Structure 1
Amino acid sequence: MACLGVEVIDVLLLHCDDPARPVAELAETLLGVVKAGYAARIGVSNWPADRLATLARHLAEEGHRAVASYQFSLATPDPAHVSGSADPDILRVIREHHLPLLSWSSQARGFFARTASNGSVDPFDSERNRDRRARCVALAGQLGSRPETVALAWNLQHPDVWPSIGPRTTEQLDRSLAALRLSLTSEQVRWLEHGD
């Protein structure tokens, strides 16, 4: 831990699953890291739903709540270009086991800040996501906010979601932090996602 300049890592995640190894063995390894004092919390990213559920059960039996880390945002990516998205099966496991979700690409790589395609392949550029972005623009106008702020506020309305952000400028950081002060109603949350 000395090379990181910390005594204990807050959260240690196994990024990819090794399906050749039993979940119980991997759980034991993760628990060993906690027992040795190297990490306060442990979890995984990009595991299939069935193995995530098994891991959650093993860790819960030992008094630990796993952290799950998957892509989760108002915009859902094309699975051909982005793996590790919190699909309905993953979200069901997260809810059933009351796991905190460390969501990455929570602002869909800047998709909600753009007004049109940026010319490169964008895994978030789909008709459904463009409709969601248009609803963010409309609601942001009503609330005196920005579309990317509204999209992040949508993410924050879900219990036990810890969105990660990747601002490149102080202005982008300020727009993200503004989502903490933006309280959306349940009707607005539903409308942003479904348009109903």
Structure 2
Amino acid sequence: MTTVAVVDYGMGNLRSVAKAIEHVAPHAQVLVTADPAQVAQAARVVVPGQGAMPDCMRELNERGLRQAVIDAAANKPFLGICIGLQMLFEHSEEGDVPGLGVINGKVRRFPHEAMVSTDGSRLKVPHMGWNEVEQAEPHAMWNGIGNGSRFYFVHSYYVEPAQPDVIAGSTVYGIPFTSAVARDNIFAVQFHPEKSAESGLRLLGNFMSWNP
């Protein structure tokens, strides 16, 4: 039986992520866990999250999960969601805090001056609601998901990778921004697949069968 660790560091709607994975992979063992040993033993690891980056990084450190997450990102199928994407990077403008440094680049706030829609009206931050994701190139995680499919977003900050070759998907909200990254065994998204209806469930299903 495949075991999936949903990393519990006290931030985010972990139960909805776990339920969505159980729905697409009914024979998997889904563990919502704050135990670094269980994260290390799991075949697959999901790091969800929502909230402020400084709080997330502090909780990850205080619960002893930092190294377990770094190790998982190095050696097994790894899915980051929302803050679980942002924490992979080197530094965040939110609270001026360092991330895990797994992927080179920064996390930036949407620039106020650029938050204008095509009709000239102001765009609100946080970016909240459904938006399209343009796929950068074919990837097993996109199987069965049409290019330009819509996913559900809630965020005020976005990732800016130092190397463009890790960009797996992009979205436009005032400015174009990276909404998915992929490198080796890592796939991470800014949107919430567990809240993204059929396309989100398909992505989670792809993750459960992905063998990088």
TM-score by length of 1: 0.33
- Structure label with greater radius of gyration: 1
Higher helix share: 1
